[in-house]
Amino acid sequence: MINLMRKVLASASVVGFLATVTSALAVVTPTIGVQLKPPTQGINPGTPVGTLLSNALTIIFVIAALAVLFMLIIGAFQWITSGGDKEKVGKARDRITQALVGLAILALAFLITVVVGQVLSINILDIKSIPTLDQRCPIGEVYDPTSANAANPCIKAR
């Protein structure tokens, strides 16, 4: 009987709290005159595709390098905490070896990317000559979101 009373009191207090909160929130009125602005984050339609690709490639290389570093640290930690167990030491050594192979592959991929860029006479990590995402502008011009001219928001490409 006492357990039933405790459950009823607990349920009543939770319901009472929730009823108080919802009635308090219902009293709040929205402020008049709120101006919604376009988001300042995301991809600007005038951003050149080359810039997007360069940034994506750079981010991928950085994330891969951090993953290699993380795997090296995990392998070293496993080796330190193995306590002399040959099986654990072997697993830690394998993880470190795999991380070093991954680092070599990452370095080779970066080298190939740079060499291909040099052969094609472009800096792949800083591409600027691919057209923009915005199709409203003619070739040789880019979209300028800050342009005062709403009829033609395109400006000459630099």
Cα 90 vs. chain centroid, distance in angstroms? 35
The residue among 143 and 31 whose pLDDT is bigger is 143
Percent of the chain with pLDDT over 70: 58
Res 141: pLDDT: 74
Q: Indicate the average pLDDT of the chain.
A: 76
- What is d(CA 46, CA 72) in angstroms, rounded to the nearest whole number? 40
Res 37: pLDDT: 66
Q: Nearest Cα to 61, choosing from 106, 105, 101, 100?
A: 106
Question: What band does 138 get if pLDDT is binned at 50, 70 and 90?
Answer: low
Distances (CA, A) of 53 to 44, 74, 86, 122, 126: 14, 31, 46, 13, 9
Looking at residue 125, what DSSP letter applies? Answer: G
Strands (E), 1-158: 141-143, 154-156
Question: What band does 131 get if pLDDT is binned at 50, 70 and 90?
Answer: very low
